[in-house]
Amino acid sequence: MTGTGDLGRRLIHHRERLGLTRDQVAERAEMSPGYLKYLEENADTPDTGALYRLADALGTTTDELLGGGRDRPPGHGPARAHPSLEVLDEEECRRLIQPGGIGRVAFSGSHGPTVLPVNYKVHEGAVVFRTAYGGPLDRDLRSGVAGVDIKIAFEVDRIDEAAREGWSVLVQGAAHHVPEEEAAAVTGAGVTPWAGGERHLYVRIVPQQITGRRIHGM
């Protein structure tokens, strides 16, 4: 098989995503823990049968393990035969986004409707991310009126292509630019900018409304 990508890294990612030990995955995949350790730590590819068993054990696909879906949007496969849409309450929405990760901010920018990915953390009930002073997010999210913040949307989702399930949480609230004298209150969030670079401006979104949906099979 070609196009393996970083198989070891992907094996570790999916194992940790499921909260499984190496022994547990090896048992599910009917292989020795030592061989799984070798695959996680070395640039090698197992035979087709072992690869399919690993994908099944990790709740994903062989294509994903081999890195074949890196450049396509998630959710490429067909929908389930009988999908069910569940409305999530606020408590469940907060639980889902609590670990942090990558989300998307949506707002009316200087060039029209804009959606951008940001690395975020949840800190004291608020969504916190970082951007650059004077950058597009800084300029577009300032109202120009002292004490007045612009209301924006923030979205996080998780798509499980193998199970054809997923969830999405939408947070709406004002985007508050945290001034330097207040920065100490949010630096404890430990958020780092996904894009790297000099991004020292903290933006905090205090949720005014949180909604969510989960799609799963019957």
Whether residues 11 and 59 fall in one domain:
yes
pLDDT at position 4? 46
Share the mean pLDDT of the chain.
85
Residue 1 has pLDDT above 60, yes or no: no
Domain count, the chain: 2
User: What's the domain range around 99?
Assistant: 83-217
Whether residues 48 and 146 fall in one domain:
no
CA distance 59 to 134: 43
Whether residues 195 and 116 fall in one domain:
yes
CB–CB of 173/105 below 8 Å?
A: no
**DSSP, res 89:** P
Whether residues 115 and 24 fall in one domain:
no
The per-residue pLDDT for range 8-56, each reduced to its tens digit, is 888 998 898 888 999 999 999 999 999 999 999 887 888 899 999 999 9
Whether residues 109 and 202 fall in one domain:
yes
Whether residues 175 and 202 fall in one domain:
yes
CATH number at residue 168: 2.30.110.10
pLDDT at position 43? 79
Residue type, 32: S
Residue 24 within any structural domain of the chain:
yes
| 156 closest CA partner among 218, 215, 105, 89 | 105
| Tokens (6 digits) for 126 | 């608020």
Residue type, 29: A
Classified as helix, coil or strand, 14 is: helix
CA distance 36 to 14: 13
The per-residue pLDDT for range 170-209, each reduced to its tens digit, is 999 999 988 877 777 787 778 887 777 788 889 999 999 9
Beta bridge partners of 214: 86, 167
Whether residues 87 and 154 fall in one domain:
yes
